[in-house]
Structure 1
Amino acid sequence: MTALSIRDLRVRFGAFTAVGGVSFDAADDEVHFLIGPNGAGKTTCVDAITGLVRGSGSVTMGGTELLGRSVQATARRGVGRTFQTASVFEQLTVVQNLDIAAGLHRRWPALLGMRRSVEPRVEQALRDTGLTELQDAAAGTLSHGQKQWLEIGMLLVQDAQALMLDEPVAGMSHDERVATGELLHRVKRGRAVVVVEHDMEFMRTFASRVTVLHQGQVLSQGSVTEVQEDPRVQEVYLGTAAQPEEELVHA
């Protein structure tokens, strides 16, 4: 099933066209990567989908038009977003962050006090993100990667049906990148996961489907193999279509 359908998405800043008619589908149970050179329009696409910038065209999920809604209204419709720098309450514990994200409406004293049990959806998010053993740790003590996982968990407890992740493995160690890729494939069940990424090795390993953007437009779409073998993609990344395909993988 198609969770998100993007059609003829356009974003202009004055006379500059940042996104010039992008169309793609992000399906349930897939990890869909948006890749492309700097300035290709990847993050701007996600900004428009999630309501951070104004765009034209159409973005639908479950038959509901999302484009033109506020960030908050888009989130209430089930579209969650992370940024390169995780936004968590560093003085609170992991489980307290998840409680707040879940909207459990506890008063602050109750959030900060002792608990008798953990809400089932919070417990599930802890398992999905691998943070169960750290649930009582202050979020500020987590590693960079663990903070990203916590932020993904905060989207999960909100029951986000589409996760839009902006360079989630930037600054991570190799082990954290692998763990993040495995996490994305765990949480994709029944959801669309869209990843903006520059790390081509990460993309090659974990992408279900890839959309390549260039100068604000779709250059190529398909499986990892299909886009790597596309001469237009090789030319954009390498400057020449005559270069070996292997070089694209490590570009």
Structure 2
Amino acid sequence: MSLDISNLSVKFGSFTAVDGVSFQVDPGQVHFLIGANGAGKTTCIDAISGLAPGEGSVKLDGKEILGTPVHRIARMGVGRTFQTASVFEELSVLQNLDIACGLHRSLRSLLGIRHSIDPRIEHALEVTKLGDLLNVQAGALSHGQKQWLEIAMLLVQDARVLMLDEPVAGMSEEERVATGELLSAVSGNRIVLVVEHDMDFMRRFATFVTVMNRGTILTEGTVDEIQAHKGVQSIYLGTAAGAGE
């Protein structure tokens, strides 16, 4: 299984936000997509997830998904999170996961009385370490916990691809480390693509990095390889990047 992006372009009128981008993401990696503001990172994953119109090709396990409606892409196992977690704040952690799990359940089972917790929910709670917060209202969770709940909601939907847009923005240091460890844990048999500005977080947890610049690919490689690239050093990993571009 792999996510293969080939010659992907996204245009808004006369403006080209993503210009002929090609890269591949494989399971077992925590693959980071980095670049300055306006580089096209978020637009790129918007196109992959069906939220923005794109040209070119995006294949998941050899099957073309570009141009497919958003809900069908989700059912194919492509999950997406945003900078602000999209959870039902008035509901408990368990209720949020129950709704997410309903993607693969019949209406009758959703409306019926639950006699046990779905094994997928139990697994997601274990991986995200939210088990002790099962009955806590989602709105009472910390920023980091809400992000983990959103990841858990994707896990119970059997998402094969997890795309996360700046997942550690606004998190405490402890939450950042826990999030990095979570991404590493779930990447074993899933495709994980992280859009991020936080270079320290990238250095610590990335296994492969694609660097975008003005809608195109500047370079890609391991953390050591991209840090040795002069263009990356001058544009992204210098003082400006460290200050939180």
Q: Do they superpose with TM above 0.5? A: yes
Q: Which amino acid aligns with 1:179?
A: A
Alignment of 1:138-217 (within 5 A): 138-217=137-216
Name the Cα RMSD after superposition: 1.6
1:117 maps to 116
Unaligned runs of 5+ in 2: none
SS in 2 for 1:68: coil
Count of aligned pairs: 239
Distance 1:72 1:116 in 2: 29
Stretches of structure 1 that go unaligned for 5 or more consecutive residues are none
Assess if the C-alpha contact under 8 Å between 2:164 and 2:195 holds in 1.
yes
Question: Corresponding residue for 1:126?
Answer: 125
CA contact (8 A) 1:41 1:213 kept: yes
Query: 4+ runs of 1 displaced by more than 6 Å?
Result: none
Match for 2:84: what amino acid?
A: T
CA distance in 1, matches of 2:111, 2:135: 16
Rounded Cα–Cα distance in structure 2 between residues aligned with 1:250 and 1:144? 22
Question: 1:28–1:191: 8 Å Cα contact kept in structure 2?
Answer: yes
Deviation at 1:147, TM superposition (A): 0.4
Q: Which residue pairs with 1:20 in the alignment?
A: 19
What is the CA distance between 1:235 and its match in structure 2?
Answer: 2.3
Aligned pair in 2 of structure 1 residues 164, 36: CA closer, same or farther (>3 Å)?
same
Determine helix, strand or coil for the equivalent of 2:154.
helix
Q: What is aligned with 1:31?
A: 30
Provide the C-alpha distance between the structure 1 equivalents of 2:111 and 2:43, rounded to a whole number of angstroms.
Answer: 36
Tell me, yes or no, if the aligned pair for 1:201 and 1:249 is still in contact at 8 Å: no
Please give the per-residue CA displacement for 1:187-238, whole angstroms capped at 9, x wherever unaligned. Answer: 1121010000000000000001000000000001000000000011112236
Partner residue, 1:46: 45
Q: TM-score, normalised by structure 1?
A: 0.91
Q: TM-score, normalising length from structure 2?
A: 0.94
Confirm or deny: 8 A CA contact 2:57 2:66 kept in the other structure: yes
Distance 2:88 2:38 in 1: 31
| 1-structure distance, mates of 2:166, 2:207 | 16
Distance 1:42 1:249, change over 3 A: closer
Instruction: Give, in whole Å, the separation in 2 of the partners of 1:78 and 1:195.
Output: 16
Conserved in 2, the CA contact under 8 Å of 1:5 and 1:60? Answer: yes
